[in-house]
Each structure stands twice: as structure tokens, then as C-alpha cells.
Amino acid sequence: MSHIRPRCFQLLCLVLLSLIPHAAAQTIDDLNQRWHDTFVALKNGQQDTADALFKNFNQDLRLYLQKNNADWRVEFLAGSLECQFSQWRSTGAGILRSVLQNNRDLNEKGKAQLSSWLTACTAENHASGSTPDAPTADIIDVAVHVQTPGIHSFGKAGYLDNSEHISGAAVSPLPVNELLARRVPISEPQRALDAALARYPGSVGSTIAGFTVATDKYRGADSASGIGRCLQSYLAPLKQEFEIDRSEYVVTVYAAPWIDQVYDNARKLHGLTLPQGVVAYSVLEDMSLSGLGSPTGCGSLAHELVHLLIKPKFPMSPAWLEEGLASEVAVSSARSDQFEFSWSWRDAMLEQNIALRPTVANLLETSWGDFNAAGREDLPRAAALQAMAAVFIRYLDTQGKLKEVYFAARDQHITADLSQYRSYGEILEKTFVKSADDIDHDFDAWFKKQQASRLKDTPAPRKCNGPVQGPCPDLKQTAN
């Protein structure tokens, strides 16, 4: 993409800028152009012009964000530009830090580039307009090279045998446009059902409450509608408690009766080879869930439903919150308009790996990548982290703080206009009026009390033989 940039002297530029009403940025490319123009002015030492252009960038950014979500690219543009202006630098650094932590799209090269921008922003002798690398002609074009290709799916970790516990984000080679074309508006459920049955050979299906469910023929259409009703029961509490709305598209559910079928479906439907241990996954691009599920046990699918539906209002949610909430929803009782969380196999997992439990402060710093095991030897750490995220959600709930923390993380970590930043640690400390260390001690005491009262009533869980020291819930428990 080529950009024509006017050459002008500083004062003349300022006059021109004030006389020409600039069109509001409609696209990310428009914002990118304003970002680049501001950098050019800074590099040329035209501070007044840069100030005016930065003001324009922020005005356009607000207009853009009225109609679009702030993804990592927009946050990068805003944060890196804020880093160039001394009074905005700490906000810019916070936003860049947040992008590094919460994005799910950047590959290793992208993360490395972002890190160097953050390092430059926080350097003591930061010079305006200085960047780790000269700003490229178009940062958004560059995104092609720093972004993980293909679609992203999130799998729920689970036990399938006595040794594996893996959560994986898999990447599909399927073209994104092909997947987007599968989306069907909620007003056309029959079209969604016909399409789902055609994609899942030997299936029967049903549509209910915005869900289309396809499952194996031998289970019968009643089973499909039962799974739809099971998932439907999660919608009201998601909306009531967390403002997580149903989709404007039909959510297509491929519910398999056994795990081999989940893996087979993943290959055929999405070109995915699932990591061993994953029992369900979701794909935002075609609004689908796939995994083990039955009319009386659709927890794994509900876990994935949280991942799908949280995005419109909370696109850059942190892993500790989204993964923790999805995991607790999966094992909750969904009442008419609220969730009831209780002791589950996640707590037992934390109990068995307590020595590896991250502190609350460390949990709040974790990225999506941290939730995946880097190899077999890393499984216990990942398992302890996943369990901690889930149990911490339950802790927040019992303290009456879950909703407050959720909405503060959504709305105050980075404000809607990307002009203010507050770390998750600051949010938590403000909510509890306590230091993160004190909250960690409280969590520890609360969890031990939970264990003690649990031990009085229930025999200790059987231990697994394998790299993860944990209980061995059967498949039914895992799927809930």
C-alpha cells in the first residue's frame, strides 16, 4: 500500500491542518496513516505539528472505537503513539504491556517486536519519535508477518487417561473467509441446521434458542435438542451476571458421543489436529463449538460457549479471567439467572499441585501462552495455573467481588477510548482495599478451609500415575 504524504513547512502544516476538516477514520488503515504521519512529524522535529496530529489521531480513534472493537492492532497504534508524548508515556507503556499479555494472535516475531517497543517506551532516556526499528510503511501490512496465520481455537483441558492434561490452542489451515461464510444469522435456523448436517455425515440435529446441534444419528434428534436446551440454560446467567449476550449468529454445536469422534470432527470440519487431552474446542470465525456433550452433561461445551460469546464486549480479555470463568462455568450449576460455583475437580487439581500454585500477583500477569504446556515436563505447571485461575474465580465469587473485578478488568484496565490504563493488580487492590500479597494470604487461608471442610465429608481423590499429580475424574466429570 502506498501513502502520499504532503511535504510542508511546520507552520504551514499547522494552518492546513486547522483549515481542512479531516475525515473521521473509518478503517484501521486510516488510523495507521494518522499514526505514521505523526511519527514523520516527530522524526522531523516538528513538535507542534506532531501534537496537532496526535490530537487528530485520538479524535479519530474515539470515532473508530464507537463502531469497532479495540483489537491488538488498534491498541498497538494507540499505545506506541502515546509512548512518544511524555505526559502519555505511562499509559502507552501500560497498553503495550496489556497487548503483550492478552493478545492471542501474535507469533513469536510479533511478540519480540512488541517487547522492543515496550522496552523503548519505558527506557529512561526515551526520545520522542524514536522506535526500536524505523516505523515501517504500514504497520498493518507488517501484521501479516507477525500474526499467527489461520484460525484460533481454544480447547478445554481434560483428562482422557491417567497421564494427559493438555490445553491447546490449535491453528487451522482453513481459509478464514471460508469459515466466516459459514456464519448464519440467528433468524435462519433451518439454514444453519441443513448446513451443519451436511458437514457432519451420519448426524441428526435440532435447532433451539439460537443453537443448532448436530450429533451422531444413533443418539437421535431428541439428544440433539436436549443438548441445545442444556446450553440454553447458561445464556440467562451469562447475560445477567456478566453482560455476555447471545450471538447475532446461530451457534453451531457438533456434539460427539465419544472422544475419537471429537478428533475426527476437528479434522473434517476445521482441518484441526487437536492436541491429546482436549475434549472440546470452539472456533469464533464460524461460531461453532465441538466436543463431548449430552443433554445432562454439556459443561465442556458451555466452557467453549463462554469463549465464543465473551468476545464482542470483551475482545482483549485476560487469560486468567476468561479461562478461569469458562472453567468455573463448566462445573457450575446454572440457575435461572445466576451461576452456583462449588468444589470441583479443578479444586482437587489445585490441591494436588499446590506447590506450583502461582501467587495472585503472578496469576494476574499471565498470558494466554502461559496456559499451554510447553511439553510433558511442563504439564504440572500448566495444570496448576489452570486450576488456580478457575479456583480464584470461585474465591472472588465467595468474597462477593467477582462481578466488580470482572467489569473493572473489562472497562478500567484500558478505558474504552484507550486513554487510561490500570493494571489488574491495581484493580484488585482497589476492589479489596488490600495489597495483592494480603489477598494472596487470604486466598490461601480460604482454600485450606475449603479443603478441611471437604475432607470431613469426602474421601481423598484417587491419584493418577503420570506427570500431573492429580485426581482422575472419569470422562463424565471431565465433560462437566
Q: Which string of x and - marks every residue 129-168 that binds Zn ion (by CB under 5 A)?
A: -------------------------x--------------
Q: Does 326 bind Zn ion (CB under 5 A)?
A: yes
Nearest distance in Å: CB 318, Zn ion:
13
Nearest distance in Å: CB 327, Zn ion:
7
Distance between terminal CA atoms of the chain?
A: 49
Residue type, 477: Q
Q: Does 83 bind Zn ion (CB under 5 A)?
A: no
Instruction: List the Cα angle 29/87/69 in 5-degree steps.
Output: 35
Instruction: List the Cα angle 79/81/84 in 5-degree steps.
Output: 115
Q: Does 179 bind Zn ion (CB under 5 A)?
A: no
Nearest distance in Å: CB 51, Zn ion:
44
Nearest distance in Å: CB 380, Zn ion:
19
Which residue matches cell numbers 526520545?
127
Give 323 or 351: the residue with its C-beta nearer to Zn ion.
Answer: 323
Q: Which stretch binds Zn ion (CB under 5 A): 109-117, 118-126, 322-330, 397-405?
A: 322-330
Give 286 or 323: the residue with its C-beta nearer to Zn ion.
Answer: 323
Q: Which stretch binds Zn ion (CB under 5 A): 227-235, 288-296, 319-327, 377-385?
A: 319-327
Give 35 or 314: the residue with its C-beta nearer to Zn ion.
Answer: 314
Nearest distance in Å: CB 393, Zn ion:
12
CB 307 within 8 A of CB 282: yes
Closest CA to 82 of 58, 112, 98, 52: 58
Q: Does 439 bind Zn ion (CB under 5 A)?
A: no
Q: Does 184 bind Zn ion (CB under 5 A)?
A: no
Nearest distance in Å: CB 192, Zn ion:
24
CA pair distance 364, 413, nearest whole angstrom? 12
Q: Which stretch binds Zn ion (CB under 5 A): 235-243, 245-253, 316-324, 340-348?
A: 316-324
Neighbours of 327 (CB within 10 A): 25
Nearest distance in Å: CB 92, Zn ion:
30
Phi, psi at residue 471, to the nearest 5°? -75, 165
Closest CA to 440 of 451, 454, 425, 452: 425
The alpha carbons of the chain give a radius of gyration, in whole angstroms, of 24
Q: Does 308 bind Zn ion (CB under 5 A)?
A: no
Three-state DSSP at 38 gives: helix
Q: Does 382 bind Zn ion (CB under 5 A)?
A: no
Nearest distance in Å: CB 155, Zn ion:
7
Strands 339-340, 211-216: parallel, antiparallel or unpaired by DSSP?
unpaired
Give every strand in the sheet of 251-256, ordered side by side: 169-172, 151-157, 278-283, 288-292, 251-256, 211-216, 203-208
Give 35 or 281: the residue with its C-beta nearer to Zn ion.
Answer: 281
Q: Does 256 bind Zn ion (CB under 5 A)?
A: no
Three-state DSSP at 155 gives: strand
Q: And the C-alpha cell for 265?
A: 470432527
Q: Which stretch binds Zn ion (CB under 5 A): 3-11, 97-105, 317-325, 404-412?
A: 317-325
Q: Does 302 bind Zn ion (CB under 5 A)?
A: no
Q: Does 330 bind Zn ion (CB under 5 A)?
A: no
Nearest distance in Å: CB 303, Zn ion:
6
CB 318 within 8 A of CB 283: no
Give 129 or 275: the residue with its C-beta nearer to Zn ion.
Answer: 275
Phi, psi at residue 205, to the nearest 5°? -155, 175
Binding residues for Zn ion, rule CB under 5 A, total: 3
Give 60 or 323: the residue with its C-beta nearer to Zn ion.
Answer: 323
Q: Does 306 bind Zn ion (CB under 5 A)?
A: no
Q: Which stretch binds Zn ion (CB under 5 A): 32-40, 158-166, 211-219, 320-328?
A: 320-328
Nearest distance in Å: CB 382, Zn ion:
12
Give 230 or 329: the residue with its C-beta nearer to Zn ion.
Answer: 329
Q: And the C-alpha cell for 380?
A: 504440572
CB 58 within 8 A of CB 64: no
Nearest distance in Å: CB 391, Zn ion:
15
Strands 151-157, 278-283: parallel, antiparallel or unpaired by DSSP?
antiparallel
CA pair distance 80, 99, nearest whole angstrom? 11
CB 337 within 8 A of CB 238: no
Q: Which residues bind Zn ion (CB under 5 A)?
A: 154, 323, 326
